[in-house]
Amino acid sequence: MLKGIRSRLTFANVISLVALFVALGGSAYAVTQIDRNSVKSKHIAPNEAKGVDIDEATLKQVPAAADADTLDGSDSAAYQAIGSDD
């Protein structure tokens, strides 16, 4: 039995299992030791904010999207929808 396991035991398998247990251990530590919502906006590096940290009302229009409400200057009603018989 051990001979069969030993023949399939490679360096890559051992290292991947060690990495798996290290990752699981780190996640388990984070779940049990770090308080919920303990990371605030002041702890986030510039240009790294995502999701709930962003107040969409404070965002401005991207300059390249200034013409995004129209298609080549025409309203979208001027174009036929895909699959439409009109």
Q: Whole-prediction pTM value?
A: 0.38
Range of the domain at 11: 1-30
pLDDT tens for residues 63-81? 777 777 777 777 777 776 6
The answer to whether residue 13 is domain-embedded is: yes
Q: How many residues does the chain have?
A: 86
- Give me the pLDDT at residue 39, please: 72
**Rounded CA gap, 65 and 50, in Å?**
21
**Rounded CA gap, 69 and 45, in Å?**
33
Q: Domain count of the chain?
A: 1
The answer to whether residue 81 is domain-embedded is: no
Alpha helices, DSSP H, located in the chain? 2-8, 11-33
The answer to whether residue 6 is domain-embedded is: yes
Report whether 71 contacts 80 (CB < 8 A).
Answer: no
The answer to whether residue 80 is domain-embedded is: no
